[in-house]
Structure 1
Amino acid sequence: MALLAQLAHSASALLPLFLPSIAAIIAFALFQRFHFFAPNPLSNIPTVGDEEYPGYEKKRQAYLTKAKDLYVEGYNKFKHGLFRIVTPNASSVIVVSPSFLGELQKLPDDVVSFDAAIDETMHTKYTLLTTHEAVLPHTVKSSLTPALPRLNPQISEEVQIAFSQEIAPLISDSSSSDWAPVNINSKLLRIVAKVSGRVFIGPELCQDERYLSAAVGYTVSVMEAQRAVEKMSPWLRPFAAWRLKEVRRLAQWERDAMAFLRPVVDARREKQRKGEEMDNDMLQWLMDSADQGQGKQHGKWGEDTTTTRKLARLQLVISFAAIHTTTLVTTHAVYSLAADKGLQAMLREEIQEVLEEHDGVFTTSALQAMKKTDSFLKETMRFHPLSQTSFSRKVLKPFVLSNGQVIPKGSIIEVPNYAVSRDPEVYSNPNMFDPLRFYNLRNEARGKGEMEQAATSQFVSVNKDFLTFGYGRHACPGRFFAANEIKMILAHLVMTYEMGLVEGETERYKDWDIVAGTIPDPTKDVMFRKL
């Protein structure tokens, strides 16, 4: 009895010490219970593929191989509302009708975040892609785009130099016939890297093989790493994604770029100290923005704003953005040209007439006058969009749509870009490739005096019906530079060469659908013959 009394006394003495822990456990259990039974704000939004692919893992696997079909199915069923889709990412994904874009674009970045969505879709935790440095879009908007009238002749010159180095030798060395096969995708990677590099780091450095190797290698490796991580189950990524060879390769490209840029940056700083005339390219603009405090004002630059590593990473990111999309769009365009000799002749005639009127110089007005070429490029992006979706945003704070639907924190919203582009209520004969579609729409609108409507048919314009460049304040800031570059590349192609498909092929090469992206088949050759 004495022992029992002693134990009881000891327990009562220790009880106050355990009470907070006991209370916390009870509170957590109650929270979990009521949270579990709390109504899900997304429960009334249908999930595409529920019947065909029951269970999360089957839906995730279906997305990896049939994303395009799932988006089209969901859009056709719920085109004026919303639907959910299971992706390889952790967040709930809500696909919204373009009719909501007007209200969505008004939401501030602390409610819906473009950068946070890119972090998740590009798996930047593992790929280390820099997304939160707002100095990049700021510099593109404030320095690059206004400089295009001055830069256009330089870009045109670099296009000619790059083609003389990358394409001409293959054709002149061809001994089998007048025609020569060229893997245009691989060549365009280097051509675009050189042409973009002329603006990014200057005329001498853009030809340096160390720069080209890092720029092209990093561009290809980012997409390989993103796809490799995407295939991995989300629960496994924190433990194994770092060990993927595709992910580890990115760190090597960063080291190579840093080694290449270190002496360049040091030399420019020395010129600045001596008061010498500074270079006029993207690298210098980024250095100037940092020195002027633009980075801290417009982004999340740290104390190492002007360090070589920071500048190297920014150069790699902007090279990736420019090289990846420009190469894909141009390859898509070349495949369509190779399959249609009449289209080549039509563009060749327009470009020749425009250049004759502008003394052979690719001025801004000359590029704007190439309206059929502009229409062809816009139709290329409509018919072969690079992604199934657009306007991707991570929800940081819950909000309510105009239809009363609550969109909770932590979800991702997006618009089904491809499905919209094939909607007969948006485009007549949407499954037919019409290179003059937007040329005719533009002329019709101008004929009616609807100048604003006519402007929406330009290649660089963004609206609810054409979302490849995004929408709202985060629409692609580099699209004006990319449009000029692509037009000059195509102009040089059609004015210098005749193109065709390889023997045995009678139709344009089919695209590859890779998860939520669409790319031109990179294994295909295009036949070239000098005019």
Structure 2
Amino acid sequence: MSHLDIKRTLIYGLAAAIPIFYFRYRQKKVQGTIPALVESKGPISGPFSSLYFLWHATDVLAKGYHMDRSGIFQGTQMDYTITPEVVMNPYHGVAIRASLTRNLGRRFPEVRDEIVHAFDDVLALEDNEWKLVQVLPAILQVIARTSNRLFVGLPLCREQEYLDLNINFATDVNIRGQIIHLLPHFLKPILGPILSPRRSALRRMLKFLGPTLDARLEKENQYGPDWPERPARYQRPDLVAPRLRGQLSGDPFFSRGRVADGHKTLTSALYDLTAYPSHIVPMREEAERVVAQEGWTKAALGNMHKVDSFLRESQRLTGLSPVSMGRKVVAKDGFTFSDGMTLPHGATVMVPSGAMQLDEDIYPQAEVFDGFRFSRMREALPRDDAAGEGEGPSLFNRHMVSTAPDHLVFGHGRHACPGRFFAATELKAMLAHILINYDIKAETEGVRPPDTILVLYKTPSRTGKIWIRKRARGSNDKNGA
């Protein structure tokens, strides 16, 4: 048996055995005033309750939500899977908020250019013939290329080995982080480094970014932080600053993960679009009209209200997890809510966002997919005279990037996902590009590939396919295809 096979066997063995052990280890700590949905008393029922939750987490959470609407997660274990410095010094969040988001308009032509080339290369369509495409792997490649066009630029954003490192590292962090999370605390320092993909990812990443790091260090040692010809702040996302020697292994994760798992979001949207094809023509007409008037710009995307609404509705119904906004109790005495319920020190709590987004009291006909649900809300708003002679809608808080207590796809409050503006820009541009340039239809008419649900994770079908072909090039594309 090879070293790789032994390591894989160890990982799978731990994944299977640790949840039961960990359940018993944690059960004694999290008791008291917290109501239990799945009984876990006794040496036998406890492990079985844990296993039941593994396969029925969504149902259990929905039951809890409807029992008490007043209402667990350190999954990535970043101290081990990425690096502790990312937690102590979250430079990526500052960079995204302060620089990337502010410069999206100026950098959008690069995003648009990579979208065009990526779809052409990945889909490899011939003439106007229909092709059956496995959606998620194709969209993953497009998302990775487009995101890295901003992060590292040409030609590295099209280097397949570099893209594979980005993609695989982000996946490994989630999977192995969950396994490390289940370990008892005293075992994490021992097994965490063994299970972590960090070291191997860092070695491979230095192959691509090491020369750039060395050159930057040499320049800054020679001239200081303002050396001649230094790239302007966030002319390119500055992920190669000197301090990143210790943080570099986090870059592949954040360069993909910070766009809110965009490939899954767009894959779900395409499944929804082919399952409910009546949405195609209205959105296509909107996208063609806006592009004809304004060209391919970030500002133009803001006027594609139906496209925005469709993506938000797809997120609402097919979000990536039944829970969100994980928080850990750090106070030594625990935390007591206003109703008297107490969470002990070290406990984690999450919001049942999936159940909330299917609540009929919040969203009429919540189980029904209605891609223009939010664009109709926008149209129903009174006009805002302050915007100038009745032009422009009054304040609308149901954009794709808007967070709210009843829509937690991107979280909410001060810790809402900072990359959601980039994600929305990228995804809306891609969906509009597909609508204008391609015809699409379901592999089997009226059938949406089923999502995969495991515990607290939900992903669109990895094997799902749709039919796609090139459309005849229109004359209304102001800036080219």
Q: TM-score, normalised by structure 2?
A: 0.81
Match of 2:403 in 1: 462
Alignment of 1:411-450 (within 5 A): 411-446=347-382
Amino acid in the other structure paired with 1:495: I
Of 117, 135, 141, 1:184 maps to: 135
Equivalents in 1 of 2:393, 2:61: separation in Å? Answer: 31
Name 2:238's counterpart in structure 1: 285
SS state at 1:526 partner: strand
Contact persistence 1:219–1:323 (CA under 8 A) = no
Would you say the 8 A contact 1:512–1:518 is kept in 2? yes
| Paired position in structure 2 for 1:215 | 166
Match runs of 1:80-479 below 5 Å? 81-82=70-71, 117=73, 120-128=74-82, 130-167=86-123, 169=124, 171-172=125-126, 178-226=129-177, 228=179, 234=184, 238=188, 242=192, 247=195, 249-269=197-217, 273=223, 275-278=228-231, 281=234, 285-287=238-240, 305-307=243-245, 309-310=246-247, 312-322=248-258, 325-358=261-294, 360-364=295-299, 366-397=300-331, 398-446=334-382, 454-479=395-420
- 1:388 is paired with a residue whose SS is coil
For residues 474-518 of structure 1, give each alpha carbon's deviation from its aligned partner in whole angstroms, at most 9, with x where no partner exists: 00000000000001111111111111122x453211111121011
- Paired residues for 1:452-531 under 5 Å: 454-502=395-443, 504=444, 506-531=446-471
| 1:69 matched residue in structure 2 | 59
SS at match of 2:350: strand
Contact 1:268 1:278 in 2 (8 A): no
TM-score (normalised: structure 1): 0.74
Q: Give the direction of change, closer, same or farther, for the CA distance of 1:201–1:243 in structure 2 (3 Å limit).
A: closer
CA distance in 1, matches of 2:382, 2:88: 40
State how far apart, in whole Å, the 2-side matches of 1:382 and 1:445 are. Answer: 21
The whole-number CA distance in structure 2 between the counterparts of 1:50 and 1:470 is: 30
- Taking the aligned partners of 1:51 and 1:63, their CA distance within structure 2 comes to 11
How far did 1:41 drift? Answer: 9.2
The structure-2 alpha-carbon separation of the partners of 1:322 and 1:235, relative to structure 1 and needing over 3 Å to count, comes to: closer
Q: Which amino acid aligns with 1:363?
A: K
The code of the aligned residue for 2:356 comes to V
- Contact 2:33 2:342 survives alignment (8 Å): no
Instruction: Classify the secondary structure of the residue corresponding to 1:121.
Output: coil
Question: Structure 2 counterpart of 1:386, which letter?
Answer: L
Number of matched pairs: 429
How far 1:203 moved relative to its partner?
A: 2.6
Amino acid at match of 2:267: T
Moved more, 336-345 or 65-74: 336-345
Task: Give a deviation string over 1:70-99, Cα, whole Å, max 9, x none.
Answer: 1001111111x34xxxxxxxxxx5xxxxxx
Shift in Å, 1:270: 5.0
Gap change, CA 1:268 and 1:219, over 3 Å in 2: same
What secondary structure, in the 3-state scheme, does the structure 1 residue paired with 2:129 have? Answer: coil
| Fraction of identical pairs, as percent | 28
User: Following the alignment from structure 1 to structure 2, what is the Cα–Cα distance between the partners of residues 145 and 224?
Assistant: 29
Task: Compute the displacement of 1:388 (Å).
Answer: 1.1
- Contact kept, 8 Å, 1:400 with 1:407, in 2: the verdict is yes
Alpha-carbon separation, structure 2, partners of 1:41 and 1:516: 19
Task: Provide structure 1 residue ranges, at least 5 long, that are not aligned to the other structure.
Answer: 1-38, 83-92, 94-116, 291-304
Q: CA deviation at 1:235?
A: 8.1
For 1:419 and 1:187, the matched residues in 2 are separated by 30
In structure 2, the residue corresponding to 1:172 is in which secondary structure?
coil
Q: CA deviation at 1:224?
A: 3.2
Partner of 1:518: helix, strand, or coil?
A: strand
- What are the Cα deviations for residues 138-159 of structure 1, in whole angstroms up to 9, with x where unaligned? 1111111111110112111111
Equivalent position to 1:78, from 68, 82, 87: 68
**Distance apart, 1:227 and its partner CA:** 5.1
Contact 1:338 1:508 in 2 (8 A): yes
> What is the CA-CA distance between 1:262 and the residue it aligns to?
0.2
Q: Measure, in 2, the Cα distance between the counterparts of 1:271 and 1:160.
A: 36
* Matches of 1:143 and 1:258, distance apart in 2: 24
Give the corresponding residue for 1:26.
Answer: none
**For residue 463 of structure 1, what is the amino acid of its counterpart?**
A
Instruction: Tell me the alpha carbon deviations over residues 120-172 of structure 1, each in whole angstroms, 9 at most, x when there is no partner.
Output: 222335533644432111111111111111011211111111112111x2x21
Q: Distance in 2 between matches of 1:52 and 1:440?
A: 50
